[in-house]
Every structure is written in structure tokens, then in C-alpha cells.
Amino acid sequence: MQNYSVAVTGDTPVPFRQITIPLADGTVLHARLWLPESPLAEKVPLVLEWIPYRQTDGTALADSMMHGYFAESGIAAARVDIRGSGNSDGLLHDEYLRQEQDDACEVIAWFAKQDWCNGNVGLIGISWGGFAALQIAARRPPALKCIITACSTDNRYTDDVHFMGGALLSDGMQWGNGLFAQLGRPADPKHVGDRWRDMWMHRLNGIEEPPLATWMSHMTRDDFWKHGSVCENYADIDCAVWAVGGWVDGYTDPILRLMENLSGPRKALIGPWTHMYPTWGQPGPHIGFMQEAMRWWRHWLMGEETRIMDEPMLTLWLGKDPVPDTRAPQMGGRWIGLPAWPPSPAEQLLYADDRRLAPEPGPVEARITVDSPLVLGTQGGEWCPLDGGGNGPEFAGDARLDDGISLCFETRPLAEPFFVVGVPKLRVRLAFEGAHALIVLRLNEVNENGTSGRITYAIRRLARPAGVAPGEMHAVEIPLKGVAHEFAPGRRIRLAISTSYWPLVWPEPALNAITLEPASMRFTLPGMPGEARHEQPVYGPAIHACPVPTQTLSPASVTRTVEQDLASGKVDLISTSRRSTWVIDGLTISGSGGHSYSVLPHDGASARARFQSVQTYMREDWTVRMETSSEVWWEDGKMVLASRYEAFEGAEKVFSRDWLHRLPY
């Protein structure tokens, strides 16, 4: 991992205050508020972040660095724990519920009426907070003038952690167990007093279903997923939108769609990062994102002319010379700017010529059957690396092992740079016997030494169209994730095709094979748009405000190993994590967790996944612990989900419940 420094703007944390916000139904939300000591005006705008991750401890360190910076720069900022989280009243049941959006609209109106506020509010958020920003913007609260949405989506089914191309993602199962654990976390007695225990029991007893069970009950894009998907009507959003993300993250295509479909003021920034703000981005270089955010806030919340809207609509990192590594990948490159999306067409079409990709079609086999071993994919990393924090080996590694058991087509060594900017698409005729089939496409750059680095990919759970018989050939078009990349001279472009990518995606239980007609292949790679600007943006250094004091008692550790039984061929991928034990404001927090996946190479019904989480909170005379587990497997053609939640006060178990669900797939 490349190491870039981030500068601190002051010697002491920016002062804040703990506040409560009353809602109309009697619910009280807890929040942290930063008011500027040197305000930019007599009345200033507010920047709000709306998430459930515990502002007095869980996100307090990062909050102090970002929201403290905004206050230090002269405007106000707030972090609110949504209903049922942190120290706020009520119950948290699931992601992005209507109640959550209703509460947010009420809170925005409450802040806009404060005597220090100029009536203008902006929303900022990454992941859950980025989703919330889009969803709340679609509700059009009058005081909301702009948002910064990072690592989020416009479509909760096609481009979220749960599914990719209709296939179930293991990251979504991990997150399901993680959110499950959060539903029953207690309030802090320092902030709510003796009420903490009643609130805790209310939360524990209020867990109706594990979130993962709800998600897995909706395997297709139905009304459940349409709720909170702003793509249902982009016109609902009329405030200014700045969408931010990274090519290594799972949430980049939504940024491109937002730029294409929103009608109001909008901007996009996609850098060489995974699931984090550009201030701390990995694996690529950090930038002065805080300063850019302030330009955005001053323009839209204070009416200043910062010229931020004179710059290209999209600023994209054009990757180059990737060095794949499961823990420490590298990505070189440079910035390009585009005035709009989609850009003008610059299509480059490649065909099959035997097992090569060529500008003209050549002689090929009539049909090729792909029936990948289900152990293919152990070098594929996680769908959203580092989403759970820490620096585990979660990135895609050298793909040679996976390529070796895939169907591959590749170019000859390139004589000159080859640019791909946009959404690659593969058109091909294929057939399969079952009602569904899984196909995985990987666009890789092959180095002169044979190293194969994944540039982008697609996963599609194909459904046989109506009127098409089992085994009958039919045409499909499969888009890969959008990307901006420069393939260097001397390298090869490789298209790897498989019917498995374990454990990133859940496999089909049977009838795994797909038959392709290579002569029908049309691989479209969008080239460099003629309107692209190549002058480099001038970003300041990565900076943040002074963090609140914390003490680390023991560091975090993450392991990720692959084990194979040579007798049966069974493969286990095992990840364990021990979170750091740390102290903030007298509260000691520790935890551990892990997930494991196992599968036999030719038996999709053998797939099994397990997830565990332990979280502990301690003060001088107060200790609570939550333990959750989830396990998923095939049984009689259905998926089975077994879930358990246990809670302890000191050594005493005060809550225990098990759930068992059998779900169609």
C-alpha cells in the first residue's frame, strides 16, 4: 500500500457540543455539533452527516477530523445518530427505511431554524451516509441546497453490496451480519444515564428479523429494492450533487449514471481509491478533499463564487501500470476531465481470432463450453475492499491462477497505448441447461512478466429468456463495470471468462456450464473521448483537523488464508479480524470477528459461508458484550440462513435468540 501523509491543521481538537434534537413524535435524537469560533458570516450554513454509527465513540475520531475542519473553516457541522442507533431513542430495523428519511427531513428543518444558521443545509456522507444524502435529496427538504455523496448508489439492487448482476455477493452477507450486530448495541450510560439498560433491552427485544434474512427474501429487483433507489425517478433530485468514489470501490457505475441522468447542477470525482474519502484514499494518492469540499459548501450554501462549477463535470483518474497485490496494490496514472457523461463515442471493437482478441474476426472453434472449478476466484479479493476497516489482504491479487482455469482471449503485445474510458460490453451467443447460469467476465492487463491485474469485471446471473429452450443458443450483452485505464505498450489485454468467482459471489448449486459461440463475440472497449481535458487539476495537500484524543491499548490484526484439502479438493477461505482495543472519553471498545467460505470444486451445493462478530464496551463499573453469528448453506435446493444473537451484561447472559430461514434462490 502506498503511504501518503495527511497534514493536521491545528494542535488541539476543534470544540464541539453534544445536543439533543426533539422529533414531533416524541423521539429524541442525539447529535454532535461543531460551531465555528471564527464564522465566515453572521449566520452560517450547516453541513450534516446522517448515519447510525455512534457519533460519541464509533466515528468520533473521523468526525473530529472532517467536521472539525469544516467548523475550523468557518461553517457549522453536525453528526446525528439516526433513530435507534448510538444514544438516540427508538429502534433501528434495517437500511434506508422511510422513517429514517422522514426523520432526516425534520432534523434538517430544525437545524435551518437555529439562530446561528443562515437557513441553508448541505448533506455529506460515505456509504450509508452517501445513500442517505441521495435519498433525502429526493425528498426535497426546502433547506437542503446541495450534497456530497461518496461511495453510494442510485440503484440498491444492481449496484449495492447485496447483489451484482443478480448474483448474491458474499460482501452483502458479511454486511448483513455486521448490521445485525449493530441493531442491539446499547446507548452509553455517560450520555443517557440510567436509561441505558431499558433502551438496550428495548433494542434487543425489538430485533424482529436479521437484516440478511430480509434481503435474501428479495432475490430479484422488486419494490423492496426500488425503495431508496433514486434511479426510479432522477428528477426527484433538484439540488446540487457532487458524487465521489474510487475505481477500486464497488460503487463507481452509479456515479456515471448520476452524471448522465440528473438534470440539476452536478459534478463527479472518481480516483484510485477504495471505500473511503479521498483525504485518506487507498491505494492511490490522497488529495486535499477537505479544501475542495469547502469550495463546494461556500459556493452552494453561502453564494460565493469559488469557480468550482467552471471545472469539468467529471474528473477521473486514468489508471496505468497496476501492480496487483492482495494487501498492497499500486495504481499509477493521471487525471482527465470530461464535460459530460456519456462522452462522445470512441468505440474500439475486438473479435475472437482463435484464442486471441483481434481487430478483425478470425477462425475459431464452433463452440466452447466453460464449466469452471468452483474454487476459481480466491485471488479476486472482496467486492468492496477495506469496507469493514483495517488493512486486511482484501484487494484483487495476481489473477494468473484464476486465468489459468478460465477461458481466455487476449491481444498480442500492444504496440502503443490503448485507452479504455467508459463501460466495456461483451456481446455473445451462449446457451445453458438450467434456469439460471453464472458468468463472470474479467478485463485484465497482462504484464511482460506474466502478472495479470484485474482492471474491471462483470458478474451476471443469467436467466434463460422466455421461449428459449434449455441448451438453446441466444444472444446476450453484458456490460462490465465502467473504468478509465491506459494499457501500456508491451502489455496484453486479456478477457477471462468463467462460471465461478468464489467466494466473491455465491455459486449456482448445479448445471454450472455455459456454451459459447466465439464467432459471435463482439467486445466493445470505449476509447479516449475527443473532448477529454488532460491538464492536471491542482489539488492542495491532504489535510484534516486535529483529532479528538484516543488511546490504543492493542492494535488491530487481520488474516486471510486459503486452505485446500488435496484429497477432496475442498477449498476454505478464512478471514479473521481482531479489532484494536482503544479508549475514547473513558470508554474502552474492543471486538473481533471473521468470516469463512468453503466449497468443493465441482459441487455448487457444497457452498457454505459463516460470519461471526463480538463487540465489547466497558467503563469503570460497566461492561456489555454482543455476539452474533450467521451461517448460509444449500439444502434441498434452497438456501438456509441460521442466525444467532446473544448479549451479556458483565458475565450474565441477558438476551439470546436464534432464527432459521429457508429461502429460494
Neighbours of 9 (CB within 10 A): 15
Neighbours of 430 (CB within 10 A): 21
Per-10-residue mean pLDDT, the chain, length 665: 71 97 98 98 98 97 98 98 98 97 98 98 98 98 98 97 96 96 97 97 97 96 98 98 97 98 98 95 93 98 97 98 93 97 93 97 97 94 80 90 97 98 98 96 97 98 95 98 98 98 94 95 97 94 96 92 95 92 96 94 95 96 97 94 98 98 92
Can you tell me the distance from the alpha carbon of 21 to that of 80, in angstroms, rounded to the nearest whole number?
9
**415 assigned to some structural domain:** yes
Q: At which residue does the C-alpha cell 438476551 appear? A: 655
**568 assigned to some structural domain:** no
Can you tell me the distance from the alpha carbon of 586 to that of 551, in angstroms, rounded to the nearest whole number?
10
Can you tell me the distance from the alpha carbon of 444 to that of 319, in angstroms, rounded to the nearest whole number?
13
| CB distance 44 to 119 below 8 Å | no
| CB distance 410 to 445 below 8 Å | no
pLDDT of residue 390: 60
**427 assigned to some structural domain:** yes
Can you tell me the distance from the alpha carbon of 219 to that of 162, in angstroms, rounded to the nearest whole number?
9
All cell numbers assigned to 570: 475442498
List the domain range (segments joined by +) for residue 363: 347-526
Q: At which residue does the C-alpha cell 427531513 appear? A: 105
Read off the pTM: 0.96
Can you tell me the distance from the alpha carbon of 383 to that of 173, in angstroms, rounded to the nearest whole number?
12
Who contacts 406 (Cβ-Cβ below 8 Å, separation ≥6)?
370, 372, 376, 442, 496, 497, 498
Who contacts 99 (Cβ-Cβ below 8 Å, separation ≥6)?
83
| CB distance 165 to 146 below 8 Å | no
Can you tell me the distance from the alpha carbon of 6 to that of 103, in angstroms, rounded to the nearest whole number?
35
All cell numbers assigned to 475: 444472444
Strand pairing partners for 603?
Answer: 600
All cell numbers assigned to 218: 428479495
pLDDT of residue 389: 57
Can you tell me the distance from the alpha carbon of 80 to that of 125, in angstroms, rounded to the nearest whole number?
12
**222 assigned to some structural domain:** no
**337 assigned to some structural domain:** no
**652 assigned to some structural domain:** no
Can you tell me the distance from the alpha carbon of 249 to that of 384, in angstroms, rounded to the nearest whole number?
5
**376 assigned to some structural domain:** yes
pLDDT of residue 284: 85
pLDDT of residue 660: 98
CA distances (Å), 574 to each of 503, 507, 610, 651, in order?
Answer: 10, 18, 9, 29
pLDDT of residue 4: 52
All cell numbers assigned to 61: 475520531
Q: What percentage of the chain's residues is helix, strand, coil (to nearest 5)?
A: 20, 40, 40
**433 assigned to some structural domain:** yes
Q: Is the peptide bond before 479 cis (omega within 30 degrees of 0)?
A: no
| CB distance 34 to 54 below 8 Å | no
Rg (CA), the chain: 25
Secondary structure element (H or E) that encloses residue 497, with its range: strand 492-498
Domain CATH number, residue 377: 2.60.120.260
All cell numbers assigned to 241: 450533487
Q: What is the DSSP letter of 273?
A: B
| CB distance 510 to 434 below 8 Å | yes
Q: Is the peptide bond before 283 cis (omega within 30 degrees of 0)?
A: yes
Burial grade of 164 (CB within 10 A; 0-12, 13-18, 19 or more): buried
Can you tell me the distance from the alpha carbon of 659 to that of 435, in angstroms, rounded to the nearest whole number?
29
Total domains, the chain: 1
